[in-house]
Amino acid sequence: MKVTILEAGRAPGRLSEDYPRYPEMFASLLSKVDESLRFETIALVDGAAPPDPAQCEAIVITGSPSGVYDQTPWMDPLRAFVREAFAAKTPVVGVCFGHQIIADALGGDVRKSPKGWGVGRHTYQITSRRPWMNEVGDTVSLSVSHQDQVLAPPSGAITLASSAHTDHAMLAYDNAPVISIQGHPEFNDAFVSALWSARRGKALSDDQVDAALESLAHPEDNSLVGEWMVRFLRSAR
């Protein structure tokens, strides 16, 4: 199976040079589950046009510093791509911004949350289960870094996980093979530590960054969610 990764953003400053870019992070995460997977990257952030979703086997939409309300040249083409992929029944996984743009394109309400920044290791309650969610317990924990949220999912979306900070942290769509996740299974602790620290005194206060770093003592479920992604994409095909 070939996974087409739509690169919607890059880490700020030197982080995009000092660490792998988001598509490489996803390829590493998913390859640990299935070494036979193949990958291609479409760099929307560099002006590349979205592919024909009907010709794709599986799609992952990455995170981004952009919000769905921003007027980037690729935002509307990406919305159109999401709708076309939905109609073509092409399997899609969205993460962070990817989670948000799918909901936005399909009629959900996505904007800056009145609850403010979500940073640190967040633990979500599993509220609904699907067959591809192997070894699922009552919770799942992932690192996060976001202001925007899906405040109201589109029609046909089912919330699979939520928390006090994020009501709709994971969605599945009953009328198409599409799932999305607010947290970052592709981010390791070294990268998120550097990401939060780079925002110290800017977007984030000292207290926010310190609390986020301390939260990394709680174990993450990156590998488990990576398994979910692969199992979902394979079962959807």
Q: Give catalytic residue positions.
A: 96, 184, 186
Cα separation, 127 vs 169, in Å, equals 10
**Look-up: residue for tokens 């998120």?**
192
CA 159/CA 27 separation, integer angstroms: 26
Residue closest to 154 by CA, chosen among 112, 77, 101: 101
Going by C-alpha positions, the residue among 42, 36, 35, 38 that lies closest to residue 5 is: 42
| Distance set, CA 96 to CA 1, 36, 64, 90 (Å) | 23, 26, 8, 19
d(CA 181, CA 171): 7
DSSP secondary structure, 70-122, as one string:
S--TTHHHHHHHHHHHHHHT--EEEETHHHHHHHHHTT-EEEE-TT--EEEEE
* Other residues' Cβ atoms within 10 Å of the Cβ of residue 113: 17
